[in-house]
Structure 1
Amino acid sequence: MSGEVQNRDVFLHKIAQRLGRNQVAKAVERPIWSFHPQDTVLKGASTDELLEVLIKQCKSIHTDIFVTNKTGLSEVLNNIVIEFGGGSIVRGKDPRFEEYGLSPLFNQIWPNENIDIYEWDSTKDDVNIKNAEKASIGITISDITLAESGTSVLFSSKDRGRSINFLPLASVIIIPKSSTVPRMTQAARLIRDKIKKGEHLSSCINFITGPSNSADIEMNLVVGVHGPVKAAYVVVEDV
């Protein structure tokens, strides 16, 4: 349901009076720019070319990246979990996990290896947070992926809390190859188009670029300051 703006004209009229204006402007024309440099970066790049850019960028953001298909996804994920030291895993309630054939991994293989799996439950607020805090690894799926910066865009929801990406020691993000776009410009446009179509979007959209890091102190990069220390992307071919 769309929200309604109430008393807007009265509010704007008061501001206009304080500024010494007699009336509020009724409309502002959107400027028409002659050049659009934001659209020229990686313009016309194929998904394969965007993948090459993403792989190169991952080296700069301290993120491991793997490319596989649906058949090999379970094996790649299992190897990453082993490399990250196992432990407990938290994941969202996302139907795409089942579409990728990961149910056996979550329900049989990992539990048999004494790896605890917790699925986000919208009816258990505090329990969700506590399980995310103690989890070794958080596993999510990217909704939009920016090749230029190596950024995964994730739409949070009641079934996919943002804590999955920020509280565990390590983050694993599955990236559908078709979700890859050149840069922020295209991502913002996709989000805007969804809003125009009336699609329900999360109030929280996370742009995540590798593990947490900071260079606030004397420009020295420190990884793992306020979130996952390790991060891995797993790109899944669409065929």
Structure 2
Amino acid sequence: MAGTVQNREAFLNQIAERLGRPRITKPVERPNWNFRPQDEVLKSATQDELLEVLKEQCKRIHTTIYTTDNSELSSVLNEVVTNYGGGPIVTWKDERFSHWGLDSLMKQEWPNQDIHVYEWDHTKGEENIAKAEQANVGITISEITLAESGTVVLFSDENKGRTVSFLPATYIALIPKSSIVPRMTQAAQKMREIHQNTGHVASCINFITGPSNSADIELNLVVGVHGPVKATYIVINDL
């Protein structure tokens, strides 16, 4: 249900009055910059070259990265989960898991190994968060992936809870190779295109760069304070 903005005009009029100028009621004209150096970084890189940049950045952000295709994805994902100590596992509710041939692993093989898999269900409310808190592994999908910084971009909605990526002890991001772009500049452009084409964009967009890392003023690195202690990216060749 759409919300209602209360007292907007009075509020904006008061701000303009305090600033000592009239209200700006016309749209701001987009400036035409003479130079846009942000567009030049990795401008001509191929998807294979961007993947190599991503791999190098993963070394810096303490993130393991695998590359695979659909035929081997199930095996690679199972290996990563096993290395992380198994379940419980929490995932988004996303038809791409089925499209990539993961139903057998998630709904048969893991349960048969007593690895519990919980799929996000927006009708269950707070239970979703409790399941994410109890999970050892969280699995999501990157919508846009920044090669330069090693960042995955997650779009939240009712089937894609935010807590899946940061409450479990470890985290796995499935990355379509086609989602890899040079940097934040192209990610912002893609999100703008999505809004222009569909009329909406996710209300919550998370940019996640590897596992949780924090450093105090003396630059002592602490892992896991604000999220998973380990992260793995699995790049799927979908091109």
TM-score (norm 2): 0.94
Equivalent in the alignment of 2:23 = 24
Q: What code does the residue aligned with 2:228 have?
A: P
Alpha-carbon distance between aligned partners in 1 of 2:169 and 2:24, rounded to the nearest angstrom: 52
Alpha-carbon distance between aligned partners in 2 of 1:103 and 1:96, rounded to the nearest angstrom: 10
Equivalent in the alignment of 1:194 = 194
Question: How far off its partner does 1:149 sit?
Answer: 0.3
In structure 2, relative to structure 1, the CA distance for the partners of 1:35 and 1:4 (3 Å cut) is farther
Answering whether residue 107 of structure 2 is matched by residue 107 of structure 1, we say yes
Q: What's the CA shift string for 1:62-95, capped at 9, x where partnerless?
A: 0000000000000000110111111210001000
Q: What code does the residue aligned with 2:65 have?
A: I
Q: Give the 3-state SS of the residue equivalent to 1:97 in structure 2.
A: helix
Counterparts of 1:170-185 in structure 2 under 5 Å? Answer: 170-185=170-185
Answering whether residue 147 of structure 2 is matched by residue 147 of structure 1, we say yes
Equivalent in the alignment of 1:36 = 36
In structure 2, relative to structure 1, the CA distance for the partners of 1:102 and 1:30 (3 Å cut) is same
Equivalent in the alignment of 1:117 = 117
Question: How far off its partner does 1:6 sit?
Answer: 6.7
Whether contact under 8 Å (2:178, 2:238) holds in the other structure is yes
Question: How far off its partner does 1:114 sit?
Answer: 1.1
Q: Give the 3-state SS of the residue equivalent to 1:152 in structure 2.
A: strand
Gaps of at least 5 residues in structure 1 are none
Alpha-carbon distance between aligned partners in 2 of 1:222 and 1:58, rounded to the nearest angstrom: 18
Alpha-carbon distance between aligned partners in 1 of 2:78 and 2:24, rounded to the nearest angstrom: 60
In structure 2, relative to structure 1, the CA distance for the partners of 1:129 and 1:2 (3 Å cut) is closer
Alpha-carbon distance between aligned partners in 2 of 1:14 and 1:169, rounded to the nearest angstrom: 48
In structure 2, relative to structure 1, the CA distance for the partners of 1:130 and 1:9 (3 Å cut) is closer
Q: What code does the residue aligned with 1:209 have?
A: T
Q: What code does the residue aligned with 1:135 have?
A: A
In structure 2, relative to structure 1, the CA distance for the partners of 1:17 and 1:217 (3 Å cut) is closer
Question: How far off its partner does 1:223 sit?
Answer: 1.3
Alpha-carbon distance between aligned partners in 2 of 1:124 and 1:4, rounded to the nearest angstrom: 27
Q: Percent of counterpart pairs with the same letter?
A: 61
Q: What code does the residue aligned with 2:24 have?
A: A
Question: How far off its partner does 1:15 sit?
Answer: 2.5
Counterparts of 1:30-179 in structure 2 under 5 Å? Answer: 30-179=30-179
Alpha-carbon distance between aligned partners in 2 of 1:188 and 1:66, rounded to the nearest angstrom: 26
Question: How far off its partner does 1:26 sit?
Answer: 3.9
In structure 2, relative to structure 1, the CA distance for the partners of 1:12 and 1:95 (3 Å cut) is same
Gaps of at least 5 residues in structure 2 are none
Answering whether residue 205 of structure 2 is matched by residue 205 of structure 1, we say yes
Q: Give the 3-state SS of the residue equivalent to 1:16 in structure 2.
A: helix
Q: What code does the residue aligned with 2:168 have?
A: P
Question: How far off its partner does 1:8 sit?
Answer: 4.7
Q: What code does the residue aligned with 1:31 have?
A: P
Question: How far off its partner does 1:33 sit?
Answer: 1.1
Whether contact under 8 Å (2:87, 2:117) holds in the other structure is no
In structure 2, relative to structure 1, the CA distance for the partners of 1:38 and 1:4 (3 Å cut) is farther
Alpha-carbon distance between aligned partners in 2 of 1:39 and 1:187, rounded to the nearest angstrom: 11
Question: How far off its partner does 1:5 sit?
Answer: 6.2
Question: How far off its partner does 1:13 sit?
Answer: 3.1
Q: Give the 3-state SS of the residue equivalent to 1:123 in structure 2.
A: helix
Alpha-carbon distance between aligned partners in 2 of 1:92 and 1:34, rounded to the nearest angstrom: 43
